[in-house]
Amino acid sequence: MTLLIAPSAEIVDLEDRKQLRGAFGTFPTGVTVVTVGGGSPRGMTANSFTSVSLDPPLVLFCVTKEATMHSRLETAPTFSVSVLGTGQESVARHFASRSRPAGAGQFDTVDWLPGQKTDAPLIAEAAAHFECEKWASYDGGDHTVFLGRVVAAARRPDRDAVLFHNGRFRQAPAEQTEGRAA
């Protein structure tokens, strides 16, 4: 078999961060807010979230080592992940903003509730919540990969998750016939 590259495909210069980020952005993701509790709760927007295992129940997300949240996650024994629903794009923007208040003040303009198992803030009206104990962390280049063991979870079947694709928030298309992924 011969591998062909379509003439319309742009070859990405791996040294050009903007081009590489654009190529990575072609993969649609969900949007989450990862939080830690304690005396100075903190949150951040993350779209590098995925499920890993059912037994034990594990999830992962990645955080740049330059983020303020990185040091909090390194020392926090627990954290929570809220999967944002459609209509919560402003919440995603808020927790992605470098100008948001530090500590508990960043939750002043957002509806939230404390996690029952972790005390880490859960974003109200989110499509799903996962409360986690930190399971492991791994070096991932300029990021750290954090794995969490899910100790509590909730979902809203009536709520679609907001998507992020090519640098923009999106909504899932109308429901189609279900098929099984390989």
User: Is the Cβ–Cβ distance between 118 and 80 less than 8 Å?
Assistant: yes
Calculate the alpha carbon distances from 123 to 8, 45, 74, 111 in Å: 42, 11, 22, 6
Is residue 73 a part of any domain in this protein? yes
Is residue 43 a part of any domain in this protein? yes
Global pTM reads: 0.87
Residue spans of the chain under pLDDT 70: 1-8, 174-182
Is residue 7 a part of any domain in this protein? no
Instruction: Tell me the CATH number at 67.
Output: 2.30.110.10
pLDDT of residue 39: 86
pLDDT of residue 174: 64
DSSP, res 87: T
pLDDT of residue 131: 98
Q: Which of 11, 21, 81 is nearest to 49 (CA)?
A: 81
Is residue 126 a part of any domain in this protein? yes
For the chain, what is the domain count? Answer: 1
- What span, in angstroms and rounded, lies between the C-alpha atoms of 122 and 97? 18
pLDDT of residue 134: 98
Q: For residue 32, what are the contacts with CB-CB under 8 A and spacing of at least 6? A: 45, 46, 47, 49, 61, 81, 82, 83, 84
pLDDT of residue 27: 79
Is residue 22 a part of any domain in this protein? no
pLDDT of residue 177: 61
Range of the domain at 112: 28-170
Is residue 87 a part of any domain in this protein? yes
pLDDT of residue 5: 58
